[in-house]
Amino acid sequence: MANEIRVIKEKCTGCILCFRECMFGAISIIDEERQISDGRRIKKLARIDLDKCTFCGACVAACKKFAAIELKKEESAVHLDIDPSHYRGIWIYAEQRHGEISPVVYELISEARRLADKLGVKLSAVLMGDKIESKAKDLIYYGADKVYIFDDPVLAEFQDDPYSELLAKLIAEEKPEIVLMGATNIGRSFASRVAAKIRTGLTADCTALDVDVSTRNLLQTRPAFGGNIMATILTPSHRPQMATVRHKVFKPAAPEPSRKGEVVRKNVNHSELVVRTKFLKFVKDASAKVNLADADIIVSGGRGLGKPEGFKLLEELAEALGGAVGSSRAAVDAGWIAYSHQVGQTGRTVSPKIYVACGISGQIQHLVGMNSSDIIIAINKDASSPMMKMASFALEGDIYEIVPALIKAIKER
């Protein structure tokens, strides 16, 4: 059944409460004189434009007194039970590609382990793919108590439909209270589909997590309003609570090969799977010489470079240090460097051992992407800029004098 919404003409008083509440401009008040069920003659009627309506239910709540709007929501294929007390345990999705577990998974396990211990529950990992069973032990060594495995050729390449169907059904059966995924390209697409299927909330791109032991609510912190505030978001009345977490926000724990855990193999019932997309081929991005997210040293440039050629100089410094080149959004917007190098809120989160910020002022949207770097070296003409103030080493002066001198000194050593 699809979503349905209607105004009950016999009850609507044309009071405009629903009109005021609708954020999508889907309600208008039209002229239509008639008698309503309490005998009154009414001249106005609310009308809902179905092309604009998102079936959010805000108008139904606003019309509680008259109960003149009826909303029937589409039933999910998955049986839903949102009573929080029926849900226990923390899950992480162990994203893998071609048999390689994504590094964010080990960071997630480490943080999820901390949260599971705080709540006194088990930590489980869900591993999906083809011929990936051997990876289960790694997840246990890093902190999982249990690993659910879907190992089947149909899962060889990530596709939203079969993956989300299987995970949503498993969640509905096993009822974990928290499900975490990496905020990778796959995680962002996958988590939202699963959350929609099981009708729960999802906080994307979290930079900090915690739990309130008394309510068992997950405290999901992420930048909001353009990065100007850090918002902590709760999902108090739905379960599970779902969040995606950025790479490099948490540090992975060291593996313990003596750890023991349970492996649960799950069957894939092909006849129940709907696969609406076809995987054609995998094309590796050959443009990035060093993966920014994994680099130990990053030399980043900003608007202060003044011209695209400035990045040639930074490449030379990065090469001398054995690092990667990053950038601020201002440099990307100016067309001086590709977006794949952008660090920050709308770029990548990085956490290198050394971050060299050349001509970057240090606006909050840039800082949220690199402020967990171990050592920050800032090169800037303006000693009062935020980046210079937060740097471990602040070099005041012109990039075009300082950087060549650094390259020369490093090469001489």
The residues binding ligand FAD (CB under 6 A) are 226-227, 302-304, 328-331, 342, 344-347, 359-361, 363, 365-366, 369, 379-382, 385, 398-399
For residue 199, how many other CB atoms are within 10 A of its CB?
14
* Minimum distance from residue 191 beta carbon to ligand FAD (Å): 21
- Enumerate long-range contacts of 216-222, CB under 8 Å, 24 or more apart: 216/84, 216/119, 216/177, 217/241, 218/115, 218/177, 218/178, 218/243
Nearer to ligand FAD, 179 or 314 (CB): 314
End-to-end CA distance of the chain: 71
Nearer to ligand FAD, 173 or 401 (CB): 401
Nearer to ligand FAD, 176 or 369 (CB): 369
Nearer to ligand FAD, 227 or 323 (CB): 227
**Residue 355, beta-bridge partner list:** 298, 376
Nearer to ligand FAD, 140 or 331 (CB): 331
Lookup result for tokens 């059966």: 173
Q: Which amino acid is at 279?
A: F
* Minimum distance from residue 346 beta carbon to ligand FAD (Å): 4
Nearer to ligand FAD, 35 or 185 (CB): 185
Nearer to ligand FAD, 54 or 291 (CB): 291
Nearest-10 Cα torsion for 78, 79, 82, 83? -150
* Minimum distance from residue 327 beta carbon to ligand FAD (Å): 7
* Minimum distance from residue 379 beta carbon to ligand FAD (Å): 6
Degrees, nearest 5: CA angle 42-44-50: 135
Overall size of the chain counted in residues: 413
Nearer to ligand FAD, 340 or 365 (CB): 365
**Cα 11 to Cα 40: distance, rounded to the nearest angstrom:** 10
Per-residue HEC secondary structure of 363-378 comes to CHHHHCCCCCCCEEEE
* Minimum distance from residue 341 beta carbon to ligand FAD (Å): 10
* Minimum distance from residue 369 beta carbon to ligand FAD (Å): 6
Please, are residues 302 and 387 in contact by the beta-carbon 8 Å criterion? no
- Residues 276-299 as b/e (b if ≥16 CB within 10 A, e otherwise) read eeeeeeeeeeeeeebebbebebbb
* Minimum distance from residue 218 beta carbon to ligand FAD (Å): 25
Reduced to 3 states (helix: H, G, I; strand: E, B; else coil), residue 172 is helix
For residue 209, how many other CB atoms are within 10 A of its CB?
24
* Minimum distance from residue 355 beta carbon to ligand FAD (Å): 12
